[in-house]
Amino acid sequence: MIDLILRGGTVHDGLGSAPETADVAISGSRVVAVGPGLSGARRELDVAGLIVAPGFVDAHAHSDLVPLMDEPQPFKLLQGVTTEINGNCGYSYAPDASRLEELTGVSVPDWTFAAYLSAVAVAGPSNHVATLVGHSTLRGAVAGFAPELAEGDLDRMCELAADAFEAGACGLSSGLIYPPGSYAGTGELVALARVAHRYGVPYTTHLRDEGAAVGEALDEAIEIARRARVRLQVSHCKVAGRPNHGRASLLLDRLRAARAAGVDVRGDQYPYLAGATVLAALLPPSALAGGRLREVLASPFERLRLRSLAEAGGTGSGLWGDAVPAGILVTSHADASFTGRTLAAIAGERDPWEVACDLVAADPAAQMVIEMMAEEDVAEIMADPLIGIGSDNGPPTGLEHPRTWGCFPRFLGSYVRERGVVGWAEAVRKMTSATADQFGLRGRGWLGAGAYADVCVFDPATVGHTGTYTDPSARPTGIVHVLLEGRVVVESGEFTGGRHGRVLRP
Give residues in contact with Zn ion (CB under 5 A).
89, 206
Distance CA 134, CA 199 (A): 15
Sign of CA dihedral 398, 404, 405, 411: positive
What letter would DSSP give residue 172?
E
Return the number of the residue (182 or 477) whose C-beta is nearest Zn ion.
182
**Shortest spacing between CB 298 and Zn ion, in angstroms:** 28
DSSP state of 335: S
Strands (E), 132-188: 133-134, 172-175
**Consecutive H or E run containing 218:** helix 214-228
Q: Give the nearest distance from C-beta 180 to Zn ion in angstroms.
A: 15
Give me the phi and psi of 130, to 5 degrees please. Answer: -125, 150
Helix (H) or strand (E) holding 328, with range, is: strand 328-332
Closest distance to Zn ion from the beta carbon of 417 (Å):
28
- Nearer to Zn ion by Cβ, of 11 and 369: the residue is 369
Cβ nearer to Zn ion, comparing 25 with 212: 212
In the complex, minimum distance from the CB of residue 277 to Zn ion, in angstroms, rounded to a whole number: 7
| Bond from prior residue into 180 cis (ω within 30 degrees of 0) | yes
When the beta carbons of 282 and 456 are compared against Zn ion, the nearer one is 282
Shorter beta-carbon distance to Zn ion: residue 51 or 89:
89
Phi and psi at residue 190, to the nearest 5°: -60, -45
Q: Residue 206 or residue 238: which is nearer to Zn ion going by CB? A: 206
* 132 close to 167: Cβ distance less than 8 angstroms: no
Question: What minimum distance in Å lies between the beta carbon of 299 and Zn ion?
Answer: 29
End-to-end CA distance of the chain: 30
Given a contact cutoff of 8 angstroms between Cβ atoms, the answer to whether 486 and 464 are in contact is no
Residue type, 339: T
CA dihedral sign, ordered 73, 75, 79, 83: negative
- Closest distance to Zn ion from the beta carbon of 471 (Å): 24
Q: How far apart are CA 102 and CA 418, in angstroms?
A: 42
Cα separation values, 130 from 64, 85, 152, 506, Å: 9, 5, 30, 8
Nearer to Zn ion by C-beta: 89 or 157?
A: 89
Cβ neighbours of residue 489 closer than 8 Å, sequence gap 6 or more: 74, 77, 126, 127, 482, 483, 495, 496, 498, 500
Asked if residue 251 lies in contact with residue 218, where contact means CB atoms within 8 angstroms, the answer is yes
**How far, in Å, CA of 464 to CA of 418, rounded?**
10
Q: Quick one: the chain helix, strand, coil %, rounded to 5? A: 35, 20, 40
* 244 or 391: CB nearest Zn ion: 391
Task: Report, in Å, the least distance between residue 187 CB and Zn ion.
Answer: 22
User: Smallest gap, in angstroms, from Cβ of residue 220 to Zn ion?
Assistant: 16
Please, which residue, 206 or 208, has the CB nearer to Zn ion? 206
Strand arrangement, sheet containing 367-371: 274-278, 367-371, 328-332, 341-342
What is the nearest approach in angstroms of Zn ion to the Cβ of residue 319? Answer: 11
Nearest approach in angstroms of CB 32 to Zn ion is 39
Q: How far is the CB of 186 from Zn ion (least distance, A)?
A: 19
Strand ranges inside 392-462, DSSP E: 455-458
Residue type, 256: R
DSSP conformation letters of 292-312: -HHHHHT-HHHHHHHHHHHHH
Return the number of the residue (78 or 89) whose C-beta is nearest Zn ion: 89
Q: Which residues pair with 232 in a beta bridge?
A: 203, 265
Report the candidate in 453, 491, 476, 473 with the shortest Cα–Cα distance to residue 82: 453
CB of 236 to Zn ion, least distance (A): 6
Closer to Zn ion at the Cβ: 197 or 206?
Answer: 206
The nearer residue to Zn ion, 204 or 244, going by C-beta atoms, is 204
